[in-house]
Structure 1
Amino acid sequence: MKAIRIYEFGEPEVMKIVEVERPVPAPDEILVKVYAASVNPADYIIRRGGNEGLKPLLKLPMGLGIDGAGIVEAIGSEVTKFKIGDRVYGVPNYLDGSYTEYLAAKSDQFALMPQSVSFNEAGSLPACARMAWSGMVEKAKIKPGQHVLVHGAAGGIGNLALQFAKAHGAYVIGTASAYNADFLKQLGADDVIDYNTQKFEDIVRDMDVVFNATPTTTVDEALRLRSVKVLREGGIFVCTHGVWPGDEFKELLARKNATVSMAGVDINHYHCLTEVAKLIDAGKVKPVISRIYPWEQAAEAHRDSETKHVRGKIVLQVRKED
């Protein structure tokens, strides 16, 4: 089979399509015939050699891609949730990669994909959906009538966090560029703040939840402080990246009896993706794709992603849907 592998860290050109042995699923794994995989910031971070947390774990040669969608080709002897022929979406085993014609992965990392979407749409979802669901539903425990502020609302995680909050009956405000204002309102945003011309702390207050989905690998300290200031008493600040609070941040949290939580920790992929599929098939959430690239153009797709101004997700099409 063919798969994209890197044999050195560096720019997009280090990605090569090569012939590799097709994996055989372990007893608790499924073999997925991959139709689509999405491009996530983690992909180009890993391609470059990783951040401080990832560097010790990266061993060459290796694959790229942290989510995808396809058809179950084979199942391990212990697998009970799936059968051959099921259309599924999910995440590969850690650092195995999904830019490939076939992947073997733990069965609990996949779920039946929404019936109402294509492989490309389903492949755009898992990595971002798990972060948005974890942060908004499991950590923030969003409830009807609550007020939510989503930073980076037009991105892959942000647009889903916004949609999940709306699906649970919240009043949602997103921060984004003016270019994305109408787009976010079409997704259900009750209001949009242009971060280029407006300061959100001058406009909102008493937020039940502030969800930070800005496309960075570190959280700006100033943004954290500004976000806590607009929380209500007992509110929660949720972030998609590691949060190492400074003294001033801790003091502000304590003063408001507020909490901070990181999305994506201890996530049950099967449960999360099953619930997300229900929302999509009910018409309450929709996948947002910026552009679809043939997987032979993975380098160009990575360059597009690295602009950090992508609306929704970039998808690599590994196979055309029948």
Structure 2
Amino acid sequence: MEGVKMLEKVLLHLDNQNIKYLKLQGFDDIDESDAFPLEFFSKVPLPNIEMLAVVDSAFKEIFPSKLPDTENYAKILSRLKKLELRNLHKLESTGLELLTWVASSNLAWLEVECCASLKLLFTSSTAKYLVQLQHLYISNCEALQSVIVAYQLHDDDDVITFQELKELSLSKLPKLENFYTGKSTLNFPVLKDVMVTECNRMEHLFTFSTAKSLKLLNKMEISKCESLKSIVVATEEVDKPRENLAFPNLEKLSLSQLPKLESFFAGNSTLKIQKNWVEVWISECSSMKTFSQGDVELPNHQNLRRVYIDGVRFSEDNLNAIVSQKFENRSKEAALMS
């Protein structure tokens, strides 16, 4: 691979001890293996590398499963704090679904964009090791069906906790049906910002058990998801009428252009949005009949909350009643026009 050979020559003339960021771009002359050439790290050690970007290339694998010294090469990923993968149209495996690579991961920032052949990112077994991950951005991956897939068919007794994840962004993923396909409980104890747009096969975002872990959630923006029916879906075994769902730090909730959205929370528990200052924006959600199947509690004083539906501000206390009345008005208007 001529590009790799040239890269080796260049790096050999630099002070490798001070290289913390490496960007590899335009590697289209890939040999039969189609794998990222990790071997050159043994020829040109980069002991302090923290950020790696691979863009505009034809690799099918980044951290491949078969290498003569996989354990030694795994140290590369253990040093990485930021990984960017962009415009890799043939990419089928990042290697982050392989335990060998992530067992000692310190990855804090992961951005995956325009990887048209990628179908999954992690397995349930490897996701448990991404304890340092703080930012996860995935966009324009046409084949992606799930971010995390169950490692085993009966992978239902575990808890997967993203201990440091603060930002989650899912954008333009037309085949994404679920964030996670298994039955384990996902926890996001420090997640603050969630942005989801144009994920047209997704029917819900969080389960009730996962939503209970979102104690630090500050902002949620969901838009242009054609099949989305609810943001939080309830299951019989965990959604008990006396068990509340609380978002104590939520300041902004935006739901827009969600034609099949029926409610924010499809459960009977009381939904509590407790932050002193909160904004709720709902627009172009024509199927939304109620905000929650159970009661909704907002801050008492109207100056501490702003509720907008299709651009109109409402000051009433009962968010369910506001949404229901708006749905009835739309239905009447549609009947008159038909």
TM-score after normalising by structure 2: 0.26
TM-score after normalising by structure 1: 0.27
Higher relative contact order (CA 8 A, sep 6+): 1
Larger radius of gyration: 2
User: Which is helix-richer, 1 or 2?
Assistant: 1
